[in-house]
Amino acid sequence: MSAPPANQRTSIHVRRRLDVVGLRCDEWSLLWGVEGSGVVGTRRPCGTALGLGVCGSAWVAGVSPPCALRLCWGGKKSVEIVFGVGECCGVMRTREIRASFNRDAITVYQAYAPAIGRPAAERGVFVSPFSRHRMTWIKPSFLWMMARSDWARKSGQETVLAIRITRTGWEEALSQAVPTDPDRRVFRSSDEWRRQFAKAVVHVQWDPERSLRGQKLEARSIQVGLTRHIIDRYVDDWILGIDDCTPMVRKVHGLLREGRTSQAREHLPKERLYPPSSGLARRLGAD
């Protein structure tokens, strides 16, 4: 595996579950080969917070072991975390969709006040006072949802729902999506973006992914906004089931507060790379 282009923004993710999220150091470098010869990736500036293992063992890359991640601080001190066979490291592109999914369905998350969230979980469908006349955002990243809702502690977001929708519905939404910014990889000009965005029924934006402790990562997480023109399709046709995952959210947050990070990580949903078609990837500005 060769080093990535200098102009490509990358993140390092690992298969081994490491309790190093939030560690601050002066620089890092990814090494591989005998005694760590060779370097891939770029050194990070002083004070950068690392967020490793956010995708856990669901993400697999292609660097042949042995390899190591070297963390340096204080100018002289350093530590190397060595990975063997089955614990490969690699370079991850910035804009990739990561989600829990199978052949037929994908899980997205939303957080609501109990008056909306609890009836939805009980009936398996959104009912009043849920509004079909305003935009609603669905997010496949559990940890991004945790950062957004502050682990179900923000007002109006006390109930976290795991919503299983059909993959055909998910891709129908993506096929109509327009990014919320004039990404030059997608649009030839700002005017072209304005024209398309003005009539978009689905919005897409890429926000910083989050670590288990809420730090912003270089990798981006996709958020999909459904306008009132398509919400009926979401509610009536795409949803397969709605689960109230608030008890699990509180359990994981409780373990974190107790300093039991490894145990907390074991309860996280298993998310992996979702493979959009090349056409969808271009439309979304995905890597």
pTM for the full predicted model? 0.71
- Check whether residue 148 and residue 268 sit in a common domain: yes
pLDDT reading at 130 higher than 60? yes
Neighbours of 122 (CB within 10 A): 11
Q: How much is the pLDDT for 85?
A: 37
CA distance between the termini of the chain:
18
pLDDT reading at 112 higher than 80? yes
- Check whether residue 236 and residue 181 sit in a common domain: yes
- Check whether residue 145 and residue 82 sit in a common domain: no
Distances (CA, A) of 99 to 47, 59, 77, 140: 30, 11, 37, 5
Residues 6+ apart with CB under 8 A from 109: 138, 139, 140, 141, 142, 145, 160, 161, 162, 163, 245
Distances (CA, A) of 187 to 147, 212, 278, 282, 286: 30, 34, 16, 10, 13
**DSSP assignment of 61-87, as one string?**
--PPSSEEEEEEETTTEEEEEEE-TT-
Mean pLDDT value of segment 87-111: 81
pLDDT reading at 209 higher than 80? yes
Confidence band, pLDDT 50/70/90 cuts, at residue 173: very high
For residues 98 and 61, the model is more confident at 98
Beta bridge partners of 223: 205
Mean pLDDT value of segment 171-195: 94
Helix (H, G, I), strand (E, B) or coil at 46: coil
Q: How much is the pLDDT for 30?
A: 43
Distance CA(30)–CA(15), nearest Å, equals: 14
Of 1-5, 107-111, 135-139, give the lowest mean pLDDT range: 1-5
- Check whether residue 70 and residue 156 sit in a common domain: no
- Check whether residue 225 and residue 132 sit in a common domain: yes
- Check whether residue 234 and residue 162 sit in a common domain: yes
Neighbours of 63 (CB within 10 A): 18
Q: How much is the pLDDT for 2?
A: 40
Answer whether residue 2 is part of any domain: no
For residue 31, the 8-state DSSP code is: E
Q: How much is the pLDDT for 93?
A: 62
Name the residue among 224, 232, 215 with its Cα closest to residue 139.
Answer: 224
Alpha helices in the chain (DSSP H): 114-123, 142-149, 167-175, 190-198, 231-233, 246-257, 261-266, 278-284
Do the Cβ atoms of 73 and 26 come closer than 8 Å?
A: yes
Instruction: Give the end of a domain, one of 59, 93, 127.
Output: 93
- Check whether residue 40 and residue 162 sit in a common domain: no
Q: How much is the pLDDT for 16?
A: 35
Phi and psi, residue 286, nearest 5°:
-80, 155
Handedness of CA 106, 111, 112, 117 (dihedral sign): positive
Answer whether residue 110 is part of any domain: yes
Q: What percent of the chain has pLDDT over 90?
A: 60
Q: Which two tokens stand for residue 147?
A: 């950062």
Q: Which domain holds residue 63?
A: 10-93
For residues 247 and 3, the model is more confident at 247
For residues 39 and 137, the model is more confident at 137
Mean pLDDT value of segment 200-220: 91
Count of structural domains within the chain: 2
Of 20-29, 72-81, 93-102, 215-224, give the lowest mean pLDDT range: 20-29
Q: How much is the pLDDT for 7?
A: 37
For residues 197 and 185, the model is more confident at 197
Handedness of CA 257, 260, 261, 264 (dihedral sign): negative
